[in-house]
Every structure is written in structure tokens, then in C-alpha cells.
Amino acid sequence: MNDFVFDPNTHESHIDHKIVFALERLSQLFRIQSWEANKQFQLSPLQMQIVTTLRFQPHLDSVTAVASYLQLTNATVSDAVRVLNQKQYVEKRPDPEDGRRHHLTLTVAGANIAEELSLFANQIGEFVSLLPNQAVFLESLLQLMQLLQENGFIPLQQMCTTCRHLVRPEGDGAAYYCQLLDKPLAARDLRVYCPEYETAV
């Protein structure tokens, strides 16, 4: 008989099953919050992602940039942006040098919604701040993401652990080293997303 992660009765001798089960339970928390936000703002999960992306990463100011960041097609993001524009949450301004390209910016209403949507993550962050060994936890999560990426479960993630600029520590107590920044990085300094990321060869 197979042992299944979703069966708590099989967890006794499988710490890996417990971890995956815990991650699934946590993901449900975010799904529920997304459903509640949909009721309040009448926005799809993708539309919510776009307004928060534009609020906190305003350099991603085009459909192509947002689509690349969210690992979606331009057409999918373009449709969502069109609705956000109609709702007057996102403005589209033509590029003065290329009339086919538009720059995306949030309206005041759009920025307010993005900040409201982000309050829940801030609340979770307050509890995470109480955890011991946060740096070890972060490093483990990045290692898990790297394994999932390498095995085709998730698309490319622009994180330190898969970047060509990162030199891994050798020996106990050694730090990571970023060749781009030309400085050592402790585990707590590793980024989940870096705009200067370059794929390791």
C-alpha cells in the first residue's frame, strides 16, 4: 500500500510528508484570502497579482515585463490589464519612442487596492519574524524551489541560488559570495527575486 502525503496517518516516519502537507495547508490559507479579496474588490487572482506587481515593482511597467515576471503569456496579461484599465486601476501611456508599446502605471485607486491586498502578507510576516533560525528556513525554501525548478515543476525563478553570479560557500562557516555585487552574502541576504539575475550556465 502506498503512503500518500495527504494522509496524516502515514506521517509518523516521513518528515518530508509532514513538510509537504504543511506547505499545502499554508497555501490554502492564501487561496482563502484570495477568495475573500475577490469578494471585496471584484478582481481575479491574476488581476490582484498585477496590481501588487505594479505597486511594488514599478520598473515592470509593460505587459511584456509583467508577463515575464509572472511567467505568463503576453496575451493573458494583456487581457487582465485591459479590464484593470476599464476599472480605472491601471493607466496605459504610449511610449513616446514606440507607439506600439505602452507603459503601465497604477492609478491612486489601484495603488490603494494593491496596498490593501498586501496587508495580509504583512500579517503573516509578523508571525514569521517570531520563528527561530529564519535564515536556515529561507535557505531551505530556496533549495526546495531550486530542486522543483530543475525538475520542471515550476518555471525559472530569479533567485540567488540559481544565479550565475553566486559562488556557493566551501567549508563550515563560509558565506555565499555575489560576484556582481562583489561582496559576501549570509544566508539571510539571499534574494528570492533579483532584477539583476542571470541564469547559471
* Residues 41, 38, 22, 133, Cα dihedral to 10°: -10
190 C-beta neighbours (distance < 10 Å), count: 20
Determine the pLDDT at residue 201: 62
Contact 157, 143 (CB under 8 A): no
Q: What is the pLDDT of residues 29-45, one digit of tens each?
A: 999 999 999 999 999 99
Which element (helix H / strand E) includes 46?
A: helix 45-56
Residue 13 is placed in which grid cell?
A: 516516519
User: What is the model's pLDDT at position 105?
Assistant: 96
Q: Within a 10 A sphere around the Cβ of 81, how many other Cβ atoms?
A: 25
Convert the pLDDT of each residue in 177-190 to its tens digit.
999 999 999 999 99
CB 145 within 8 A of CB 157: yes
Closest CA to 87 of 141, 140, 44, 145: 44
Low-confidence stretches of the chain (pLDDT < 70) are 1, 99, 173, 201
Question: CB under 8 Å to 155, separation ≥6 — which residues?
Answer: 71, 149
The CATH number of the structural domain formed by 42-128 is 1.10.10.10
In this structure, what C-alpha cell is assigned to residue 86?
476599464
- E strands of 1-123, at which residues? 90-95, 98-106
The three-class DSSP label of residue 185 is strand
* Residue 134 to residue 72: CA distance in whole angstroms: 31
Enumerate the domain spans of the chain: 42-128, 134-189
